[in-house]
Amino acid sequence: MRYAMAIDTKKCVGCSDCVVACQLENKVPIGYCRDWIVETTSGTYPDLTLEFRSERCHHCANAPCVRCCPTGASHIEEGGVVLVTAEKCIGCGACIASCPYDARYPHPDGYVDKCTFCIHKVRKGEQPACVEVCPTHCLYFGDLDDPNSDVSRKIKERKYKRLKTEAGTDPQLYFLI
């Protein structure tokens, strides 16, 4: 099993609903977030392109945050989901520094927090909160080992890019372009 997410940049309107839904679902304190929107404009008026990306932890197959964690709090669970065990975390911040995607933040309660792919919902057969809420249906989540999963089909049908692959992290967010 290999969980992954595909994000359709052709449909995303950058509304931040994924951010609000995640904050509420996961009780992320106000002022922090586990996912966010990146907007990039290129060209000059009127020859322009615009891309919105809903970003979060890339749940890297080769995760530097896990390798550098001195206590084993950062670890990889079933389906390749990168998680932090809050009780084991000493808040040293090594993982925050090692993440090329800036996907982690120091929770005010003294541990490092990040996207979990809503594994608590996924285990119940649900989808991550961001996927369930997205009004443009631009997020696809599922198991890459299952050729019929939404995410497998999208990656097969469409062109995609992954971010900062040069870091050798083998990221598992696929941006459909």
Partner 1 sequence: MKTNRREFIKISGTAVGAAAIGASTLTGSLFNWASGSILNQSVPAPTFLERTPTYCEICFWKCAGWVTKNEDGEIWKIEGHKDDPHCNGRLCPRGTGGVGMYYDEDRLKQPLIRVEENGKQVFKEASWEEAFKVIGNKMKAIKEKYGPECMALFTHGSGGKFLGHMLKAYGSPHITAPSFAQCRGPREVAFYSTFGEGVLSPERTDIRDTRCLVLIGSHIGENMHNGQVQEMSEAIDKGATIITVDPRFSTAASKSKFWLPIKPSTDMALLLAWINVIITEEWYDKPYVEKYTFGFDQLTTHIQTYTPEWAYGITSIEPKTIRETAREMANAAPAVIIHPGRHVTWYGDDTQRLRAVAILNALLGSWGRRGGFYFPDKVSVPDFPHPPYPEPKKTWRDLMPGKYNLATEIVSNGICDATIPSPEAACNFKGWIVNGTNLIHTLPDQKKTLAAIEALELLVVIDTMPMEITGYADVILPECTYLERYDAIRNSPHREPVISLRMPATEPKYNSKPDWWIAKELGKELGLDAYFQYKDIEEVLDWELKQIGSSLAEMQKIGVKKFNREYDDLYLIDGQDFEFNTNTGKIELYSTEMANNGFDPMPVYTPHEQPPAGFYRLNYGRAPAHTFSRTSNNPNLVDIMPENELWVNPKVAKQWGIKNGQYVWLKNQDEIISSFSIKVRITERIRWDSVYMAHGFGHSNKKLTRAFGKGASDTELISNVKIDPIMGGTGMRSNFVTLLTKLPEKAASETEKTVES
User: CB atoms < 10 A from the CB of 38, how many?
Assistant: 13
Q: Give dist(CA 176, CA 137) in Å, integer.
A: 13
- Using the contact rule CB under 8 A, the part of the chain among 79-87, 104-112, 114-122, 129-137 near partner 1 is 129-137
* CA 161 – CA 78 distance, rounded (Å): 25
Comparing CB distances to partner 1, the nearer of 75 and 158 is: 158
CB 172 within 8 A of CB 5: yes
Distances (CA, A) of 151 to 18, 70, 141, 145: 17, 33, 5, 10
Min CB(104)–partner 1 separation in Å: 18
Q: Please report how close the Cβ of residue 69 comes to partner 1 at its closest, in angstroms.
A: 28
Q: Of 7, 60, 95, 138, which one interacts with partner 1 (CB under 8 A)?
A: 138
Q: What are phi and psi of 104, to 5 degrees?
A: -120, 150
- Find the binder of partner 1 among 72, 93, 108, 135 (CB under 8 A): 135
Nearer to partner 1, 36 or 88 (CB): 36
Verify binding: residue 108, partner 1, rule CB under 8 A.
no
Site residues (CB under 8 A) for partner 1, limited to 22-61: 23-25, 30-31, 41, 43-46, 48-52
- Cβ proximity to partner 1: between 50 and 90 the closer is 50
How many whole angstroms separate alpha carbon 32 and alpha carbon 26? 11
Q: How far is CA 162 from CA 23, 28, 167, in A?
A: 25, 26, 11
What is the DSSP-derived secondary structure letter of residue 105? E
Span near partner 1 by CB under 8 A; candidates 53-61, 71-79, 117-125, 131-139: 131-139
Q: Which residues bind partner 1 (CB under 8 A)?
A: 10-11, 13-17, 19-21, 23-25, 30-31, 41, 43-46, 48-52, 132-138
